[in-house]
Amino acid sequence: MAAVYLGHLGWRWLELPRPWWVQHYLDDLLCLPLVLTLTLFVLRFFYGPRQRLSRYQVAFAVIYFALAFEVFFPKFMPRYTSDWVDAALYAVGGVIFCRFLNK
């Protein structure tokens, strides 16, 4: 997933045309799997290799990111826009993390 994200950054940097769904939604889909994987890496470094994130912790991260980036930031920073599809993609990213990466 990190390679896909880095490839997308390179694609954006080169200013090549991208499909609309890649341009607007790929980063939101990849956000939580990448952030939670990095969080799990740090937790395992300090607490051992058997550490896992609970479903409640993942759900908290989904709700936190959805509220922060889709409710609070758009109210105070014009750079951010609110979009319910982004919040749904955070939830899908949380499910992907729980299902495939939280082993």
Residue 19 lies in a domain: no
Q: How many CA atoms lie within 13 A of 93 on its CB side?
A: 26
Domain membership of residue 4 (yes or no) is no
**Domain carrying residue 95:** 24-101
Report how many domains make up the chain.
1
- Average pLDDT of 53-60? 98
And the tokens for 8?
Answer: 């997308």
Q: Residues 7, 31, 57, 103: what is their CA dihedral angle, to the nearest 10 degrees?
A: -20
The per-residue pLDDT for 102 is: 95
Q: Is residue 7 part of a domain?
A: no
Q: Per the domain annotation, does 43 fall within a domain?
A: yes
**pLDDT value at 8 more than 90:** no
Residue 10 belongs to some domain of the structure = no
Arithmetic mean of pLDDT, 28-55: 96
Residue in 101, 99, 100, 39 with CA at minimum distance from that of residue 64: 39
**52 within 8 A of 102, measured Cβ to Cβ:** yes
Please check whether residue 50 lies inside any domain of the structure.
yes
In a domain, 38, yes or no: yes
What pTM, to 2 d.p., does this model score? 0.90
pLDDT band of residue 103 (cuts 50, 70, 90) is confident
